[in-house]
Amino acid sequence: MKVKVLLIRPDDRGELVELERSLAAFQGAVGGYLEQIPLAHGAFLYCDEEGLMKGLPQNVPATSLARRLGAAVTLAGPVVFFGASGSEEKDVPDEVVSVWQEAAK
């Protein structure tokens, strides 16, 4: 089963993509072990928990979006934004997509 997520890499503005709902797919998208960070609107993000220690490039667009959604973080490497219900990943909430699109203008 797939889930619609917002994937933001350090070198681009981001894109809505579908990922398999599996640990391997999410780890592949961020390039490492997952760190989950809660956000507003029932959203979460996954990033590489060792991204900063690995010296991955700072992800300014994802950091900006995460801060708009209530997380005081600095992110590095690819970041995946999604929704959740309990412990199951769900499609990224429309409210998060709206904030992302507004910030991209």
pLDDT digits (tens, 9 = 90+) for 7-56: 999 988 899 999 999 999 999 999 999 999 999 999 999 999 999 999 99
56: which 2 tokens?
Answer: 């991955």
- Answering whether pTM is above 0.75, one says yes
Q: Is residue 104's pLDDT more than 80?
A: no
- Tell me what pLDDT residue 87 has: 82
Half-sphere exposure of residue 46: CA atoms within 13 angstroms, side-chain side: 25
Domain map of the chain by residue range? 2-103
Is residue 48 within 8 Å of residue 96, measured between CB atoms? no
CA 8 to chain centre: 7
pLDDT category at 85 given cuts 50, 70, 90 is confident
